[in-house]
Amino acid sequence: MFIRATIGKFPSKLKADMYLAYIKTEVLPKLKKKSKIISLRTLIIGEGKTLGIATYENEKDFDETNKWLAPLLKDASQELDGQFDSMPGEVVLSYDKPVVI
């Protein structure tokens, strides 16, 4: 499994909210159609700060998706004066609590 964590920093909460609205309306539909992302979670981690965690089956799927997704996200963040730190990596340890139904 391969994961990319991305921290976004915007000059204000409003610009971070605008970025999240863009992700919901423009990016998520594209992810559903052509991405190899298994899951995507986005958190608000402070005033004007976001943390995105995307999970992929492997690094190849990450690379294929990143070719078209990274430019979309970069353009949107630049329009809103945002900066991103992207940290991709292979999962080396994982724990999931069993769900009892």
Tokens 């070719």 correspond to 67
Tens digits of per-residue pLDDT, 4-24? Answer: 999 999 999 999 999 999 999
Whether residue 17 contacts residue 76, with contact meaning beta carbons closer than 8 Å, is answered with no
Tens digits of per-residue pLDDT, 25-34? Answer: 999 999 999 8
77: tokens are 């963040």
Measure the CA angle with vertex 48, ends 59 and 61; round to 5°: 10
> What's the pTM?
0.84
Tens digits of per-residue pLDDT, 34-80? Answer: 889 999 999 999 999 999 999 999 999 999 999 999 999 889 999 99
3-class DSSP state of 69 = helix
Q: What is the torsional sign of CA 53, 56, 62, 65?
A: negative
